[in-house]
Amino acid sequence: MSDHPTEDEQMIEGILSLEKAALERLTEDRIASGSLGQELEGMLVEAGVYWDEIGQEYFSIDAFQRETYERLGAEYASQDYA
pLDDT at residue 80 is higher than 80: no
pLDDT at residue 82 is higher than 80: no
pLDDT at residue 11 is higher than 80: yes
Residue 58 pairs with which residues in a beta bridge? 51
Write down the domain spans for the chain. 7-77
Global pTM reads: 0.72
- Give per-residue pLDDT as tens, 20-76: 999 999 999 999 998 889 999 999 999 999 999 999 999 999 888 888 888 888 888
